[in-house]
Amino acid sequence: MSRITRRDVIATGLGAAGLAAAGAMRPALAKTPKGKARPNVLFIAIDDMNDWTGWQGGYPLASTPNLDRLASQGTALHRAYTEAPVCQAARASVLFGRHPWTTGIYTNHCLNWPRVAPDRTSVVRAFKDAGYLTTYTGKIHHQDWRWNTAPNDPDSWTDPLPRPDWADSGKEPLIWRAEGRRDRMEDVRCARLMVEKHLSKTHDRPFFAAFGLRKPHPKWVVPQEYFDRFPDARRMPYPLGALDVLHTEMRRNEDMEDLPKAGLAMARQRYSDHLSIAGKGEWKAFVKGYLAAIAEADDAIGIVLDGLRKGPNASNTLIVVWSDHGWQLGEKCTWEKFTLWERALRVPVIFAGPGVEERASKALFSTTDLYKTLTGLAGVDRPDDIEGADHAGFLRGGGAARDQVVSAWAFDVDGDDPEAISGRRRDRHFSVRTKNHRLIAYGNGDLELYDHRVDPFEWTNLAERKSERDVVARLSDMVPKTPAPPALKAKDDQTADAIDD
Ligand SMILES: [Ca+2]
C-alpha cells in the first residue's frame, strides 16, 4: 500500500476545507418590560443528527431542504457543539442550563434530572412562569419518549399534547430498512398534531411549543421515498472523516496510530459495530440508511415550519432547531455517539424569527446556551444560576458570546466493559473546542490536540509536539478543575432499564 494518504494531503494544506433560585421566579405578564408583546417560541429538538445537513456540508449528498431553507432565513451556527455526546446528559444540560460537570449527569447511566434536583426550573418552566402556554409532542426529555406516560418535568407544561399511538416503539437497534408509509411515521404525525393543535391557531397568550423528533436516531426504518433521494450505496462516498477505509481493524487503521491509550479505549466503545458493519461490506449502505432517516426528520420539520408559516403566528414566533448530539459513522473505527471527537459533538443549530439576523456564522455556540439565549431573546426571567452564555445580542447582530465550548464524557478508561463508568476522576474526560483547536483531556492524563485550520477531521494528534506546548497548556486551563462525580443510580434502582440511548 502506498503511504501517501489523505493525512498527507491535509498536512500539506492542499486538501484542507475550508437552583437555589428555583423559587425565585417572578410571575409575569406576557409582556416584556417595555410593554411589547412577547414572541412565541417554536423549539425543535432533533435526536442524533450530526452535521450531515445540506447547510453544514458534513456529507456531500445529505438531503435537508427544509433545514437549509431555514438556515438561509436566520442565523445558521456552523460551530455549535453539545456538552455531552449522549441523549440524557445533553438534554439535561439544555433543558436545565447546567453543565454535566456541575450536575454529574455525564451519560445515560446517570440519574435523570428530576431525580437529581426536582426543584430546578427548566427552560420550559421559565417560560410557563412568565405566562406562556407551554406544549410539547415527541421526545424532549430523555425519558419522555419510551413510556411517555407522564412527561419529565411535568410542572413545566400547561398543555401537553396527547401521545399518538406510536407505529414504532421498543428497542432501537442499529439497523436500516425501507418500510412504512410517510403518514404513519411518528415524526410526521407529531408534526401534524403540533400544527393542528397550536401553530395554526390564535392564542390569548404567547406559546412555547416544543416538537421533539425521533429520527435520525436508529432504527433507520423509514419509507422507500427517503431512500430514493440517494444513489446506489456503492456509488456513494465514504464519510469524509474516514481516513483509512481499507483497514477495518483498529490495529491496522492509519488514523488510530497516533491515539493515546484512552483515545483507543474511547473508539473501542462501539468498535464491535464497526467490525460488524464494515467487515460485512455494508458501511456505505448504513451511510445511506442514516441519510434516509435524516431526510425523514427534515421532512417532518418542513411540515411544522410550513404550518407555522401559513398560520396566524408566522411573524411573531422565534424558531430554534437543535440536535442533542452528533453521530459517527465509522470514523476512527467507531459508530454512534459516545466520543469527544468533532463528528459526535458538532450539531446543527439554527435560530430564526423576529429580530434574528440572517447570517451564516462560525461563532462558537454550546447547546447549553439555549436556556439563556431563548429567555434573553424573549425577555423572560430566569434563575440567577443558569450556566452557559446568552447569545441574544449576537443573534440580533452583535458580537460573539463565547471563545470555547467544553464537552464531557465518562467511561472506564482502563476497563474492558465499554458501558462501564465509575465515580473515579480518572473516568471523566473533557473536550475543549476553540475556533482553531480541539484538545481532548482524558481523566488518566492522556491528551489529543487537533488543529482544525488544517485538520478538520482530526487525523493528526499534535499533543506531544513541542511546538504545541503553549496551546496544550492554554486549552488545558479551560478543563473543569473539580468536576462533579457521576450521579449514579443505586444498584436496585427501578429506573435501571431506562438508560437506553
Ligand atoms: Ca489519528
Q: Of 411, 408, 428, which is closest to residue 419 (Cα–Cα)?
A: 411
Compute, in angstroms, the gap from residue 459 CA to the centroid of ligand 1: 4
The residue with greater pLDDT, 107 or 492, is: 107
Residue 80 bridge partners (DSSP): 365
Q: Find the 464 Cα to ligand 1 centroid distance in Å.
A: 13
Residue 172 lies in a domain: yes
Confidence at residue 10, expressed as pLDDT on a 0 to 100 scale: 44
Contact 106, 84 (CB under 8 A): yes
**Is residue 127 one of the residues assigned to a domain?**
yes
In a domain, 6, yes or no: no
Q: What are the phi and psi torsion angles at 218 (to 5°)?
A: -60, 155
Identity (one letter) of the amino acid at 351?
Answer: F
Distance 356 CA to ligand 1 centre (A): 39
Mean pLDDT for the stretch of residues 89-98: 95
Tell me, rounded to whole angstroms, the distance of Cα 485 from its chain centroid.
23
Q: In DSSP terms, which residues pair with 44 in a beta bridge?
A: 211, 321
Ligand 1 midpoint to CA 468 (Å): 16
pLDDT in tens, 154-208: 889 999 887 766 655 556 889 999 999 999 998 999 999 999 999 999 999 999 9
How, if at all, do strands 207-212 and 133-138 pair?
Answer: parallel
Residue 392 lies inside a defined structural domain of this protein = yes
Structural domain includes residue 414: no
State how many domains the chain has: 1
Instruction: Quick: pLDDT tens for 325-382.
Output: 999 999 999 999 999 999 999 999 999 999 999 999 999 999 999 999 999 999 999 9
- Domain residues for the domain of 271 are 38-403
Asked if residue 428 is part of any domain, the answer here is no
Q: Which residue has the higher pLDDT, 32 or 88?
A: 88
Ligand 1: centre distance to CA 501 (Å): 27
CA of 109 to the centre of ligand 1 (A): 29
pTM of the model: 0.91
Is the pLDDT at 501 greater than 90, yes or no? no
Q: Taking residues 423-433, what's their average pLDDT?
A: 95
Is 268 within a domain? yes
CATH of the domain at 96: 3.40.720.10
Model confidence at 152: pLDDT above 90: no
The separation between CA 142 and the C-alpha centre of its own chain, rounded to angstroms, equals 12
Could you tell me how many residues make up the chain? Answer: 501
For residue 151, being part of any structural domain is answered with yes
